[in-house]
Amino acid sequence: MRSLFFIPLLGMLLMFSGCAPEPEIAEEPGVVDRVQVAIMLGEGFHDGEAYMPYAYLTNLGAEITVIGPEVGTVTAYNTDFTINIQRPVADVSVDEFDALILPGGQAPAKIRENEAVVAFAREFFESGKPVAAICHGPQILITAGVMEGKNATGFEDIKGELEEAGATFHDEAVVIDGNLITSRTPPDLYDFSKAIEEKLMMDPAY
């Protein structure tokens, strides 16, 4: 899907997700120009948690690639919104991307059963590049075995999972621990997206 499809959805998604702050829209793209970002999801993703970071970062000049277990169209669990998985995770490389985003919904619990998904998430995390997960998104990182000793947040229902994986749970809009960015639910989406932007801009290469 092209960015022109996503950007007009931004205001609507903010309204439906309950995000009070209105994001600042850059007058010209280029704030994170040339940055390559992967969004990894599957059937049953949460619409706002995929669309909002996509639109926000696209508006700043980033190039977005949607990856997942296999190519094709998948549908959100909470609406009839769809998104096209452009490349299978088995055919992409960590070296191709500067950041990885893991939206929530019902998809993380499903796609973490895919070995290629888990292996890619683990390798990406261990590369030191930014990994951002919201709501149920951290479930993929739990299965990847990279949450030991980390400060993190997520949907309240996965608090127990996070703690069993060795993470310390914080009930905060955004928790940043090294290259890990986590958020709770759709009302945190603006803060989540802004944190990704700021993490990318910390690297002088961007």
**Using one digit for the tens of pLDDT, what is the confidence trace for 5-57?**
343 444 444 433 433 344 444 444 445 668 999 999 999 999 999 999 999 99
Domain extents in the chain = 3-19+34-201
pLDDT of residue 33: 67
pLDDT score at 37: 98
* pLDDT at residue 32, as a whole number: 65
| Superfamily, domain 3-19+34-201 | Class I glutamine amidotransferase (GATase) domain (3.40.50.880)
pTM: 0.86
Which run of H or E residues covers position 57? helix 47-59
DSSP result, 150-191: -EE---GGGHHHHHHTTPEE--SSEEEETTEEEE-SGGGHHH
Pairing between strand 180-183 and 63-68?
Answer: unpaired
What is the reported pLDDT for 203?
A: 65
pLDDT at 168 over 70: yes
Q: For residues 21 and 206, what is the distance between their CA atoms, to the nearest angstrom?
A: 26
**Model pLDDT for residues 107-142, shown as the tens digit of each residue:** 999 999 999 999 999 999 999 999 999 999 999 999
**pLDDT of 3 strictly over 50:** no
Residues whose CB falls within 8 Å of the CB of residue 113, separated by 6 or more in sequence, listed in order? none
**Catalytic annotation, residues:** 136
Mean pLDDT within 90-117: 98
